[in-house]
Structure 1
Amino acid sequence: MIEELVRRAAVDDDVAVEELAEIADAAPGELTPHHGLMLDLDLLWPAKLFRAADDVTVRRLVEQVDDGQGQGQGQGQGRLNRLLLVLAHSGHPLAEQALRRWFTSPPPGADELHAGSLAYALEGGWTVDTDGRRRELCGDTAYEWLLRESAGEPTGATCPWCTSPLWVAADLDVDADPAVRAALAHTGWSGRLVVETCHFCACYATLFSKVSPDGGSSWWAGNTPPGYLPKDAGPEDPPALLPVAGPVRASPYQGSAWSEGGSTLGGRPDWIQDADHPECPGCGQPMDYLGLIGGADIDDGEGAYYLHLHQQCGFAAVNYQQS
């Protein structure tokens, strides 16, 4: 069945592509035996199909980049871009070695790209820190994030930009909840984590807050409103909902920014657009991903809020994407 889907997807059958993408989310290893055929048919999109690529596949991909095949078939930088995305999504050690090498010795065609090779790592959910070590930005354990009516009282804090009451998008206790502890293990956080933001203005700009292990959360004074932020929208009440960890998901990739019930704590983000891991205001490094809250779970809307954390500097962030 998968081989048939691969052959159909290679001739632009959108239904087959969607079915393969669902397999990549639920059980990426099931696609591993078919990666050779995908390369033979030049099926490189979506890149997440190669999440579980093995040594043989990664070596073939690296060889294609080194041999200048990223410039082939009249696609210019388009094919090279896809090859680098595939390697980043694989997260394989051989892919990491190649991306590091190409950062200092760019491959053929790299001059037409818009970013260096290591920038692609963010699409795969990892990065190379300033000390040269690889750091995973996402966790390998995910839980359904169930939106429940909030039992707490509003904090009284308001958005400095639009005067809307701030929204407690997350109230998590690593020490008290095993699910939270597992989902946030990659962040190094301990204690209580409250992420408070403006549900309205976060749709227009990444909003940062200072957080502390006692549950403290405060608007970061360095947040800067973009010029396109509506000036006359007036205050809006935030969702009277608070996400609560539910059952564990079978795969860390099963969060959905589109579907009702897709809100997910931990795991890997379902980006609607390109990956957007905010840079920590304290140190400039990409922040760790915490989870997503889908618009379909809030008010039947589209789009999704993405939550992030950098434990070392004590910053949380919320950004938003929509189609």
Structure 2
Amino acid sequence: MIEELVRNAAAEDDDAIEQLCEIADTDPESLTPYLGVLLDADVLWPARVYRAADADVISRIIDRIDGGSAPDRLNHLLIILAHTAHPLAESAMRRWSTQPPAGADELHVSVLSYTLEGGWTAEADGSRRDLCGTTGYQWVLRETPQRAGGPTCPWCASPLWIAADLDTADPAVRAAIAHTGWSGRLVIETCHFCACYATLFSQVTPAGDSTWWSGNTRPSYLGDAQPEDPPALTPVLGPARSTPYEASAWDQGGSTLGGRPDWIQDAEHADCPGCGQPMDYVGLLGGADLDEYGEGAYYLHLHQPCGFAAVNYQQS
């Protein structure tokens, strides 16, 4: 079946490419033997199809970039390397950050910024930090009564929404956010409306405290927003995902704690306002789970050393 999908993808069959993406989310290693064929056919997008690429395919991509034969494909090739998160890819990307390859002058961001697409970052001290977890759990949205007299958004006066209430005393929660280093209760409270227009930060403690960060900057285009009630829904833990890649920003049932984000646009890991470093990804709440006609997705982030949480939003 995969061989046929690869042949059809090489013939620019969009349905075949979509099916390969689904396999890349549920069983990425099954695609490994076929990725060289896709590379030969110049099927470079979506890059996540290559997340289980082996050293041979990665080396071929690096050689293509070093040889300067595909400067017009550099953007796609770098995203592929980021998705592999392979040591060979990391080494090459570090080298290109100081010795830019052909086509780098046409990129909109630095070479090392591409690592965020794969859910990791190359630290200045030579270390690597994974921003995402290796374990994911479905988040099931349950109806909850509205809080009376709770905190409100300083910008639009809407009641703040508890987007997540977690405790690492639960082994599943502990596994899902182990990469963050958090221990204790984690409450992420935000404005469901204003988070659609700006990344909103809160200061959090292991005791479950969540406080709107006074440094949040209201965008000028937000205008005079009127208060509205947040979703009367709270995510609770459902079954484990079979891979870290099964979150969906589009489909009902796609909300996920841990694992990897399904970005609607480019990767948008929030930068910690305390230290400027990319924050760790916590989970995704999809619009299809929040509302019958909803779209878009909220992405939750955390930086344990500085005690900041963040929520941002993407839509098509």
Normalised to the residue count of structure 1, the TM-score between the two structures is 0.96
Provide Cα deviations, 1:117-167, integer angstroms capped at 9, x if missing partner.
110000000001233310000001000001012268456100000000000
What do residues 236-288 of structure 1 show as CA deviations (whole Å, max 9, x unaligned)?
00111110111100011000000001000000000000000010000000000
Q: Give the aligned partner of residue 297 of structure 1.
A: 289
| 3-state secondary structure, aligned to 2:187 | strand
CA distance in 1, matches of 2:222, 2:263: 22
The structure 2 residue matched to 1:86, chosen from 73, 80, 103, is: 80
Deviation, 1:320, is 0.3
C-alpha distance in 2 between matches for 1:154 and 1:89: 44
Q: Provide the aligned length of Structure 1 versus Structure 2.
A: 315
1:319 maps onto 2:312 in alignment: yes
C-alpha contact (below 8 Å) 2:168/2:174 kept by paired residues: yes
Give the structure 1 partner of residue 251 of structure 2: 259
Say yes or no: does 1:179 pair with 2:180.
no
Structure 1 runs not aligned, ≥5 long: none
Distance in 2 between residues matched to 1:249 and 1:92, nearest whole Å: 23
Q: Distance in 1 between matches of 2:8 and 2:165?
A: 45
Amino acid at match of 2:3: E
1:24 corresponds in structure 2 to: 24
Partner of 1:218: 211
**Superposition deviation, residue 109 in structure 1:** 1.5
Cα pair 1:70 1:83 within 8 Å, conserved: no
Q: Does 2:109 match 1:110?
A: no
SS at match of 1:42: coil
TM-score normalized by the length of structure 2? 0.98
- Identify the residue that residue 93 of structure 2 maps to in structure 1: 99
Q: Which residue of 1 aligns with 2:198?
A: 205
Candidates 247, 260, 263, aligned match of 1:271: 263
Q: Is the 8 A contact 1:206 1:317 kept in 2?
A: yes
SS of the equivalent of 1:293 reads strand
Q: Paired residue for 1:235?
A: 227
**Rounded Cα–Cα distance in structure 1 between residues aligned with 2:145 and 2:305:** 30
1:12 match:
12
Q: Measure, in 2, the Cα distance between the counterparts of 1:298 and 1:254.
A: 18
The 1-side partners of 2:148 and 2:32 are apart by 49
User: Counterpart of 1:161?
Assistant: 155
Shift of 1:98: 0.3
CA drift of 1:302 comes to 0.3
Contact 1:140/1:267, CA 8 A, preserved across alignment: yes
The answer on whether the counterparts of 2:146 and 2:232 sit within 8 Å (CA) in structure 1 is no
- The answer to whether the 8 A contact 1:169-1:195 is kept is yes
- In 2, are the aligned partners of 1:129 and 1:285 still within 8 Å (CA)? no
Where has structure 1 moved over 6 Å in runs of 4 or more? none
Where 1:228 maps in the other structure, the secondary structure is: helix
**Percent identity among equivalent residues?**
68
1:7 Cα deviation (Å)? 1.9
Root-mean-square deviation over aligned CA pairs: 1.1
Kept after mapping to 2: 8 A contact 1:88/1:95: yes
